[in-house]
A and B are shown apart, each in its own frame.
Chain A
Amino acid sequence: MNITVLLKQVPDTTAKITISDGKVDENSVSKWSMSPYDEYALESGLQLKEKTGGNLIAITCGPERAKKMLTDAAAVGADTLVHISNDGVTDSTHVQKLLAAAVKKFDSQIVLCGKQAADTNGGSTGPGVAELIGAACVTLVSEVNYSEGNFSTIRPSNSGTEKVAVDGLSVFAFDKGTSELRRPNVRGIMMAKKKQVESITSGDLGVILNSSNVALNSQNPPPEKPAGQKFEGAEHVNEVVSKLRNEANVI
């Protein structure tokens, strides 16, 4: 079975983001990492591969630097590494088209991804790719299991969780999963070093990137948090309790 995992390299959740001229300054990002929800998708893909055998294909669409993340994926067990150049990509529909074409090219039976990327938080990749390849799509899943040709998955429902079974080509978009991404080991790292990253372009995939209807005007940092409030002495107890109850909503 071919299992595809869609990955995105994002600024590490601890990296400081600076904005210059209304745009995020990518050069100032000190550390790039795999998007955390994608890590759950990758771990689930590795577990499926262990149960069913097959080939785990890690695909990303991004700049050159994203190849490092594919090597990291190889270190924990990804078999085929595919980097799609993001030249000419201006919005998320372009990314979906490229990823969908790559998923078809590598003939996958199942596609796993994060529910959203930690940088843009768009959340459109999973459903968008599913639409383009004509696959079923289940979002916000925490685990995916396989038995006798069917996939089943757990996702939240109105009254708790629900178990959804899918057959045929399916896309699963992960929320926080049940198992953390495994740690690599030296053997995996040494194998990853030997693994080639297959680099392809929109042209190779036969995808024409039409001009985008979406324009990104500017990006702004989130507003600064207001300064904390400090109270000293027993005479403030009532005021503090009232603030905790009515403003902070924590008690």
Chain B
Amino acid sequence: MRIMAYEALDFYDVDSLLTEEERMVRDMVRDWVDEEVIPNIEIACREGVFPDEWRVALGEMGVLGAPLKGYDCPGLSYTAYGVICRELERGDSGLRSFASVQGSLAMYPIWDFGSEEQKNHYLPKMASGEWIGCFGLTEPDYGSNPGDMITKAEDMGDHYLLNGAKMWITNGTIAELAVVWAKLDGVIRGFIVEKNDPGFSAPEMKGKHSLKASVTSELVFQDCKIPKDRILPGVKGLRGPFSCLNNARYGISWGALGSAQACFDSAKDYAMSRIQFNHPIASYQLVQNKLSWMLREITKGQLLAYHLGKKKDSGTWIPEHISLAKMNNVDIALEIARVARDIHGANGILDEYPIMRHMANLESVKTYEGTHDIHNLIIGRHITGIQAFTREA
């Protein structure tokens, strides 16, 4: 029998705008998160592991690569993909990161830029969760500025030779394959590297205070030899990785709302039951002001995410729309987590409550997939027509 069904904060009934199919997908993921993720997440974080059962369950539910069509992929709407991200991230940002990387960063480039053989070979097993993928773009010295990456590929006639290193790679150590971006004759190209390719290793990065239930790795290529048919034929230049990032960032704009809702729920419940000066602290104006502010920001974020979903589904979006939603929703989620910690008082630091975990996770989410500041610069460029990323024109 089901445990207590989760009722999400949805002040403006935004979810009533979803299709019945989208709502059914929401309920499926929501129930799974309640039953399998929330009871186990703190242990996973303490142990610093991504539970393998979650990979299996995501594959069985059929949500990986949600908006991709064909090749045994789910073929859902982008709105449904957003809803899935939100429900997963109510559990934990590390879980949502797993799904984002698998779907938007590893499956998507193969689906959009891969050869027919590559699509048939990789996508069905990635949609089922059997094969995990990761995405290698960021390097130790090139984060916000990936265009100057050092990793390079050389055409050796009958194979390519990769040399270089990637860092901050979600799923790296547990991945069967990596979509790696490297310069071939000075042009950025995508390559599929498999875990047993000679000269490739993916050591795990330890010591994170954030996204502890997610695996983060380095990818190291030392004369890594890969067959010629592993290059992604369909794209050249930064457009390749940026198309992937647009989809992942879109998912994050929904996902962050899941974290924000978890923090709001916990803060509300705590405020209603915590007695100080003979009354629940929820009866005091300063606490009500905080809760009211949280509800206001979550409601605005929901409308932003929903409308962006419609724009993704109708193909009327521009990357700047995604920058705004990613930046705003992660920003408010992090601030909501901090205010929620405040409402919880000292209890807020314990893992009996989800607050500190979400807060620490959101510090990463604010930085990855385009930092908060970079998204501001993307919008700044849109407003003024002047790029402010670099001093060199």
Q: In the complex, what's the smallest C-beta–C-beta distance from B34 to chain A, in angstroms?
A: 11
Q: How large is the interface on B (under 10, 10 to 19, 20 to 34, 35 or more residues)?
A: 20 to 34
Q: Chain A 85-126 against B: per-residue CB contact (8 Å), 1 yes, 0 no?
A: 000000000000000000000000000000000000000000
Known pairs A183-B60, A186-B63 / 19 extra A-B pairs, C-beta < 8 Å = A12-B5, A13-B1, A30-B7, A39-B1, A68-B20, A71-B20, A71-B24, A180-B1, A183-B31, A183-B61, A184-B61, A185-B61, A186-B61, A186-B62, A186-B74, A187-B62, A189-B21, A189-B25, A192-B24
User: Are A184 and B5 in contact (CB-based, < 8 A)?
Assistant: no
- 8 pairs of A and B residues whose beta carbons are closest in the complex: A186-B62, A185-B62, A186-B74, A189-B24, A36-B1, A14-B5, A185-B61, A193-B21
User: Are B28 and A183 in contact (CB-based, < 8 A)?
Assistant: yes
Please report the C-alpha to C-alpha distance between residue A192 and residue B62 in the assembled complex, in whole angstroms: 15
Please report the C-alpha to C-alpha distance between residue A180 and residue B20 in the assembled complex, in whole angstroms: 24
Q: Counting CB contacts under 8 A, is A208 at the interface?
A: no
User: Are B28 and A184 in contact (CB-based, < 8 A)?
Assistant: yes
A residues 170-190 touching B (CB-CB < 8 Å) = 176, 180, 183-187, 189-190
Minimal Cβ-Cβ distance residue in A for B36: A183
Q: In the complex, what's the smallest C-beta–C-beta distance from A164 to chain B, in angstroms?
A: 24
Q: How large is the interface on A (under 10, 10 to 19, 20 to 34, 35 or more residues)?
A: 20 to 34
Q: In the complex, what's the smallest C-beta–C-beta distance from A210 to chain B, in angstroms?
A: 36
Q: Counting CB contacts under 8 A, is A131 at the interface?
A: no
Minimal Cβ-Cβ distance residue in B for A184: B28
Q: Counting CB contacts under 8 A, is A31 at the interface?
A: yes
Partner of A75, one of B7, B24, B63, B74: B24
List 16 contacting pairs A-B, 8 Å CB cutoff, sorted by A: A14-B5, A31-B7, A33-B5, A68-B20, A71-B24, A183-B31, A183-B60, A183-B61, A184-B24, A184-B28, A185-B60, A186-B61, A186-B63, A187-B74, A189-B28, A190-B75
Binding site for A on B (CB under 8 A): 1-2, 4-5, 7, 20-21, 24-25, 28, 31-32, 60-63, 66, 74-76
- Chain A residues, Cβ within 8 Å of B4: 14
- Chain A residues, Cβ within 8 Å of B63: 186
- Chain A residues, Cβ within 8 Å of B61: 183-186
Q: In the complex, what's the smallest C-beta–C-beta distance from A118 to chain B, in angstroms?
A: 10
Please report the C-alpha to C-alpha distance between residue A14 and residue B30 in the assembled complex, in whole angstroms: 15
User: Are A190 and B21 in contact (CB-based, < 8 A)?
Assistant: yes
Q: Counting CB contacts under 8 A, is A79 at the interface?
A: no
Q: A71-B20, A71-B24, A193-B21 are in contact. Are A186 and B1 (CB under 8 A)?
A: no
User: Are A72 and B1 in contact (CB-based, < 8 A)?
Assistant: no
- Chain B residues, Cβ within 8 Å of A39: 1
Please report the C-alpha to C-alpha distance between residue A186 and residue B59 in the assembled complex, in whole angstroms: 10
Q: In the complex, what's the smallest C-beta–C-beta distance from A72 to chain B, in angstroms?
A: 7
Q: A13-B2, A30-B7 are in contact. Are A186 and B25 (CB under 8 A)?
A: yes
Q: In the complex, what's the smallest C-beta–C-beta distance from A215 to chain B, in angstroms?
A: 33
Q: In the complex, what's the smallest C-beta–C-beta distance from A230 to chain B, in angstroms?
A: 13
Q: In the complex, what's the smallest C-beta–C-beta distance from A40 to chain B, in angstroms?
A: 9
Please report the C-alpha to C-alpha distance between residue A14 and residue B3 in the assembled complex, in whole angstroms: 9
- Chain B residues, Cβ within 8 Å of A12: 5
- Chain A residues, Cβ within 8 Å of B60: 183, 185
Q: In the complex, what's the smallest C-beta–C-beta distance from B323 to chain A, in angstroms?
A: 29
Please report the C-alpha to C-alpha distance between residue A71 and residue B60 in the assembled complex, in whole angstroms: 19
Q: A12-B5, A30-B7, A186-B63 are in contact. Are A72 and B24 (CB under 8 A)?
A: yes
Q: In the complex, what's the smallest C-beta–C-beta distance from B266 to chain A, in angstroms?
A: 18
- Best-surrounded residue of A31, A36, A186, A187 (most CB of chain B within 10 A): A186
Q: In the complex, what's the smallest C-beta–C-beta distance from A13 to chain B, in angstroms?
A: 7
- Chain B residues, Cβ within 8 Å of A68: 20
Q: In the complex, what's the smallest C-beta–C-beta distance from A183 to chain B, in angstroms?
A: 6
Please report the C-alpha to C-alpha distance between residue A33 and residue B3 in the assembled complex, in whole angstroms: 13
- Chain B residues, Cβ within 8 Å of A75: 24
Minimal Cβ-Cβ distance residue in B for A75: B24
Q: In the complex, what's the smallest C-beta–C-beta distance from A86 to chain B, in angstroms?
A: 22
User: Are B21 and A185 in contact (CB-based, < 8 A)?
Assistant: no
